[in-house]
Structure formats: C-alpha cells, structure tokens
Amino acid sequence: MIFGKRYFEERFEKEDPWRYFSCEYENRKYIRQIEAIKQYSPHPQNILEIGCAEGAHTLMLARAFPEASILGIDISGFAVKRAKQNCEYCQNVNIVEADIIELFKQDHFPENTFDVIIQSELLYYLFPKLFIQLSLIHYLRSITKIMKNSGIFVTSNQFSIRTKPVMGIYYLILKHLGRLAQNAEYKEWHDIRCKYLTYDVKIFTKAK
C-alpha cells in the first residue's frame, strides 16, 4: 500500500486522528526526543520537522527551543491548516504543506541548512513510495546533505516484528551515511490503545 496524500487527508478529515494532543504515550515520546536534542544540539538555530501533523510536537519544540526557527512540513492540507492554528502564537514556527519526497527530489533545501532534522513516526509510511521510486538512498542522502556538519537527524519509530525489517534497512543506510550517536529503545504503556508498545529514539550525526 502507498501512503500518499489521499491516505493522510482521509485520516486528518477527523481532528487529531492519532490523539497526539491527548495521549500520554505520544507526549512522553515527544519529550524523549526533545531531551535527546538538548543533549546533542543544545542551541539549534534551524529545525526541520518532517511530518509535523497537527503541530503537537512542533508546539513543544517551539517552546523548548524559543531561539530556533522551526519549519514543519506535512503532506496533509487538513493537518497543516490545524498545525498553523495550533502554532499561531509561536513566532518561530512556519508550517508548509508539501510532500517531503518531492521537495528532496527537487533539492529544495540548500546544503548545510539545519542543525536538527526531526522525523517522528514517518519512516514506515514513506517506505513503499521510496522503494517503488528507487529513491530510498537519495532520500536519506538528502537528509545528511541539508544537515549542518554539526547537525543531527532525530528519528523515532514504534516498531514490531512487522515493521522492524523496514526500519532496519533505513538504519543500515543511515549508519553508512553518518554515525549512530544514540540508540535508545523504550517499551511503554499506550494509554489509548491499552497495550505496551516499543519505540526507538535514534540520533544520527553527519560526521563519521
């Protein structure tokens, strides 16, 4: 299945479909990612958030790093509209509706731009399209290219037996392109799905 624009528009027709604003599990996962950024890039100037959804994580990033300029990208028009409303009082946030795969294909961002690129719960959804288009390596290369030399790529993904092999392919390539600086895994209670889920919070740096 291809998780394209239509798939996400159908999801976001209903407000907050994944309960990002009310789910304690999601909130904790965002905090863990922010703590990791504070450790590896304490004073970021430019942050790119890929797949910002309705801006729940974006809002927390904006408050945690008030000096940083934060660009959130999402493919869903519904999500972007709500993210803009949710972040309307954050002067340091800009939200744009776009398909990140297309932006990377066009080399939209100049090299060495971002101190932090954060992509939470998206790798799995991008995989079919990147695989079919043979653009997986180009996608990950684009990430390392637009990162500053001191920059970090933060990625967090819930994983299961089904998704772990897919994640493994990304991480293998990323380890080849950069350096795995943090490799944390957490098993936590999901208060809405009422079961334990496991997710990682990985940090890749550009330098080998």
Ligand X SMILES: C[S@@+](CC[C@H](N)C(=O)[O-])C[C@H]1O[C@@H](n2cnc3c(N)ncnc32)[C@H](O)[C@@H]1O
Rounded to a whole number of angstroms, the minimum distance from the CB of residue 124 to ligand X is 8
Residue 1 or 207: the one with the smaller Cβ distance to ligand X is 1
Residue 79 lies near ligand X (rule: CB under 6 A): yes
Calpha distance 104→96 (Å, rounded): 14
Residue 51 or 178: the one with the smaller Cβ distance to ligand X is 51
CB 199 within 8 A of CB 157: yes
Amino acid identity, position 22: S
Calpha distance 68→29 (Å, rounded): 21
Number of residue whose CB is nearest ligand X: 51
Residue 51 lies near ligand X (rule: CB under 6 A): yes
Residue 19 or 145: the one with the smaller Cβ distance to ligand X is 19
Alpha helix stretches (DSSP H) within the chain: 5-12, 24-40, 56-64, 77-86, 100-105, 123-132, 136-146, 164-177
Which of 25, 57, 93, 158 is the binder for ligand X (CB under 6 A)?
A: 57
Amino acid identity, position 184: A
Residue 26 or 115: the one with the smaller Cβ distance to ligand X is 26
Residue 86 lies near ligand X (rule: CB under 6 A): no
> What residues make contact with ligand X under the rule CB under 6 A?
8, 20, 26, 51, 53, 57, 73-76, 79, 99-101, 120-122, 125-126
